[in-house]
Copies of this chain bind each other. A is one copy, B any other.
Amino acid sequence: MSDKDYVIGFDLGGTKLMATALDRSFKPLASNRKKTRAVDGGEAVYQRIKTCISDLVDQSELKGRSLKGIGMGGPGILDSETGVIVYTPNLHWENFPLGPRLQDDFDVKVCLDNDVNMGLYGEFHFGAGRGFKHVIGLFPGTGIGGGLVLNGEIYRGTGNAGELGHMTLEVGGPFGAEKMRGTLEALASRLAIAKEAAVLAAQGEAPWLLKNAGTDIGNIRSGVIAQSIENGDKPIERVVRRAARYLGVAMGSLVNIFSPEAIILGGGLIEKLEDLYMEETVKAMKKNSFTFMSKNVKVLPAALGDDAAVMGAAKLISEQLERE
């Protein structure tokens, strides 16, 4: 890439689209955001993605510069080899050739990987994971996303490795994705916390929460959970601490499995309740792993926030362009 070239990193989320143009030293040149509006259907979402990129290309900061590639982080099950989104229920896409279509429409190289991998790769190169070789990412949110950077590269296995939210921690435990039970996600995601919190609110054990958010688990989001604790709903704090301990147990298993240098924790819950999460997870991780392995593992909060996936996607497409 020359001084005048740039790439676009794109984060395709269920609720918002984010695109950033970056020069060859990954300095952001311009950004664009739009709502995803998944309800409009798959083709409409694609057109919004296209407009989001076109708008960026048209912006004055980019005049005289040449777009070389697009790196895209997307949700759901996808095929990073072919650029096809295999299945994303919330975007109404099935076998949607996102990569090939963008490649045709913008006449540049496109790479596609899942948003969690892209986010972790961003953290690995530009954020909390800088300087390491083996880094694991865990992102508790509505579900729990996971990603693996092994030997400095995103590890994909035969395609969609890194589903760390679906490790079993309690055989026969609460219901999880598909027919799984007792998975990390079923025990420690925002929804897992919200369901316990809703019951406590309904039982009159969490008065602030009941008054301010009610008992609809859809309304009991990370910010509300943090506020409920701040405002004295003690039982909610116990629920979150238990969820954090489950996360730490999974981290212990991951230490024994991968012997990583660092584990990066990100997402809404960690952002709102960092101290609580750091305390509980590290303690549980150490209790559930070999001391000679865990003693050197750094547990770090994600550093790039919303920009992580965009940065990781930009880095990945740049590397692919360089290899050519």
Seen from chain A, the residues whose Cβ lies within 8 Å of a Cβ on chain B are: 77, 86-87, 133-134, 146, 148, 150-151, 155-164, 166-171, 177-181, 246, 249-250, 252-253, 256-261, 287-293, 296
A35–B297 Cα distance when bound, in Å, is: 38
Q: What 15 new A-B contacts, CB under 8 Å, besides A87-B292, A161-B258, A167-B167?
A: A133-B158, A148-B257, A151-B155, A155-B258, A157-B259, A158-B261, A159-B259, A160-B259, A162-B259, A163-B259, A166-B289, A167-B253, A168-B252, A178-B291, A181-B288
* 9 A–B contacts, CB within 8 A, in A order: A151-B155, A156-B259, A157-B260, A158-B293, A159-B259, A162-B257, A162-B259, A168-B249, A169-B169
| B-side contacts of A167, CB under 8 Å | 167, 253, 256-257
Residues from chain B with Cβ under 8 Å of A87 in the complex: 292
The complex places the Cα of A205 from the Cα of B252 at a distance, in Å, of: 37
Task: Given A171-B246, A171-B249, A296-B158, answer yes or no on A180-B288 (Cβ-Cβ < 8 Å).
Answer: yes
**Shortest beta-carbon distance, A21 to chain B, in Å?**
32
- Using Cβ atoms and an 8 Å threshold, which residues of chain B touch A253? 166-168
**Which chain B residues lie closer than 8 Å to A162 at the CB level?**
257, 259
Whether A134 pairs with B150 at a CB distance below 8 angstroms is no
How many whole Å from A316's CB to the nearest CB in chain B? Answer: 17
Number of copies: 2
CA distance A256 to B287 in the complex (A): 23
Closest to A246 in B: B171
Are B287 and A157 in contact, CB atoms less than 8 angstroms apart? Answer: no
Q: Which residues of B contact A168 (CB under 8 A)?
A: 169, 249-250, 252-253, 288
Q: Which residues of B contact A287 (CB under 8 A)?
A: 179-180
Give the CA-CA distance A171 to B171 in the complex, in Å: 9
A309 to B186: give the CA distance in the assembly, Å. Answer: 39
Residue of B nearest to A245 (CB): B171
Tell whether, in the assembled complex, residue B166 and residue A169 are in contact, meaning their CB atoms are under 8 Å apart.
Answer: no
A163 touches B293 (CB 8 A): yes
By a CB distance below 8 angstroms, the chain B residues around A246 are 171
A228 to chain B, nearest CB (A): 25
Complex contact B259–A161 (CB within 8 A): yes
Of A148, A259, A260, most buried by chain B (CB within 10 Å of CB) is A259
CB distance B157 to A252 under 8 Å? no
A104 to B258 alpha-carbon distance, docked (Å): 32
Nearest Cβ distance between residue A174 and chain B, in whole angstroms?
A: 12
Q: Which residues of B contact A252 (CB under 8 A)?
A: 168, 180
Query: In the complex, are the beta carbons of A257 and B290 less than 8 A apart?
Result: no
Neighbouring B residues of A250 by C-beta, 8 Å: 168
> CA–CA, A178 to B285, complex, Å?
13
Contacts of A249 in B (CB 8 A): 168, 171
